Structure 1
């Protein structure tokens, strides 16, 4: 892995990647919005701009996209233009300029309706069939399919379906970290390891989520009485919740299993639920104040 380019470098994951990668590699960041992590203002919907930016680049990390918060504010056409058609232009420009691999930031959100079980939590991994609900989910899945079409011996594609990693109320983030959340710095580490892995597959998908303490045998009780399961599997976290007066969730509907990524990439999420408590106590603005009890 030599020269590196990050699309969407002004975004949350783009900035984390830039910080992680620039310590050891030559990194260029492109985005339509300026930031300290962005070297050039480039619109991925502009093929000519992409061609100029990709010259001499070996590895592209493609994080640029419209996301869930844009639903309802951006048109469906905008989602398709950026998330799908923009992705195809990234692929074409990569092939035209000799880029050897792309690491794509996707999302576990695209599992959509598949996340909801009947009377028990759903265990979600790379074999779970996505069932998109929103235009965001749908276009991210279609972007994955675009990459699958363009993947070849000359252009390896790694797709990382990352779980929730944006600021939320502390008690929610702590619980999410047990079953459907991950730290953005751990996401950046997973991207780096995916790029460093020169493997046989031209295309692969990884679920990137925090280390879960739960077992598949917990699925029904997670749905019915998650507090009991958390007290059993994560007693130290339960003690923190009791001490702080934080409310336990009433139900947990899914568990994201990142064991495949951990085994293949040699990746291990370093920041768990208890780290949320420490970050909150340290007044880390990444962790929002707890929700008010109703």
Structure 2
């Protein structure tokens, strides 16, 4: 496979993945969301030498004609385009169904029509809901605890149905909580870092007790590429996570320690999820990824998490990066 389409290439993970694929010698077509500003999202901040090698296609995954046109001539598709903010899914659930489910249907339908060699569909650990057991294997029951997670469950099943019905070569990657440079401030780690980097000694967060399995961006990107390149992944759902869990409160304190500051945490009621919607615990079982792909995280464990946080903090502290974030408001 030489010609790769990355949908959602303008986003956090997608932009890093696009860069990594170019460095690995692939020809990349980057599918970005059309807008009148001609913005390519985070691709605009990529190394110009790398961006020069990328074929940028502006469109919308909800449009089948655009999706099929973008996929024409590609060997593989890495499908990341989605709406992902959980709080906004409470406000506008229909947009999540349209983008995440219909968008995925467009991808797999076009893949079937064009005989694409490999589709990697992006899931999320949110589909598991609060852990019934840990570590969470791929066989864990699915629980739609937010409109977002429900839409991703639907998208996953649409993708897998094409594998089962038409032998479309589809693999599902299920990343746990990816973090790193360029992540949106709707996520907790950038929320903490940007508030502290702007001089706050009191930061506003939601619930502090839930635990998360944070996976550094380079480990997630490596998981995508290994799944794309492996024949063992076809028809499979594969967790990509660190296998290490930490609470939100402890994460905030660890970030403050890495930044050399003291911090007091205030609970902001608008940042709290509804009680039955909150995912209380996430921790990945990554044994399947190791068995099928030989994938293991470089940033797993507490020490790896500290290392990843330090690298993330250094990126956010750069003035040109920090000014792109509005730390004084709640980003839903």
Instruction: Give me the TM-score of the superposition, normalised by structure 1.
Output: 0.75
| Whole-angstrom distance in 2 between the partners of 1:168 and 1:262 | 32
Matched length: 258
User: Secondary structure of the equivalent of 1:56?
Assistant: coil
Superposition RMSD in Å: 3.5
SS at match of 2:231: coil
Query: Secondary structure of the equivalent of 1:86?
Result: helix
Q: 5 Å matches for 1:210-221?
A: 210-212=242-244
Deviation at 1:179, TM superposition (A): 5.3
Match of 2:162 in 1: 150
Which residue does the alignment assign to 1:159?
A: 172
* Structure 1 residue 180 displacement after superposition: 0.9
Unaligned 5+ segments in structure 1 are: 215-221, 228-236, 289-294
Counterpart in the other structure of 1:256: 284
Which string of whole-angstrom CA distances, capped at 9 and with x for unpartnered residues, describes residues 209-233 of structure 1?
A: 1243x7xxxxxxx99xx98xxxxxx
1:104 paired to 2:121:
yes
Q: Distance in 2 between matches of 1:68 and 1:44?
A: 17
**What is the distance in 2 between the residues matched to 1:50 and 1:283?**
33
**2:76/2:118 contact within 8 Å kept:** yes
Q: Find the aligned partners of 2:64 and 2:99 in 1 and give their Cα distance.
A: 12
Among 123, 132, 135, the alignment partner of 1:123 is: 135
The answer to whether the 8 Å contact 1:179/1:256 transfers is: no
- 2:19 corresponding residue in structure 1: 19
Distance in 2 between the 1:77 and 1:254 partners? 26
**Cα shift at 1:90:** 0.8
Q: Secondary structure at the match of 1:123?
A: coil
Q: 1:198 to 1:180 in 2, by over 3 A?
A: same
Determine the C-alpha separation between the residues in 1 that align with 2:315 and 2:74: 39
Other structure's SS at 2:221 match: helix
SS in 2 for 1:203: coil
SS at match of 2:144: coil
In the alignment, does 2:135 pair up with 1:135? no
The two structures have a TM-score, normalised by structure 2, of 0.67
Structure 2 gaps, min length 5: 44-50, 184-189, 197-204, 265-279, 326-332
Task: Look up the SS of the partner of 1:169 in the other structure.
Answer: helix
Q: Which moved more, 1:180-189 or 1:278-287?
A: 278-287
- How far is the alpha carbon of 1:3 from its aligned partner? 0.7
Change (3 A) 1:277 1:96: closer
Cα deviation, residue 256, structure 1:
1.9
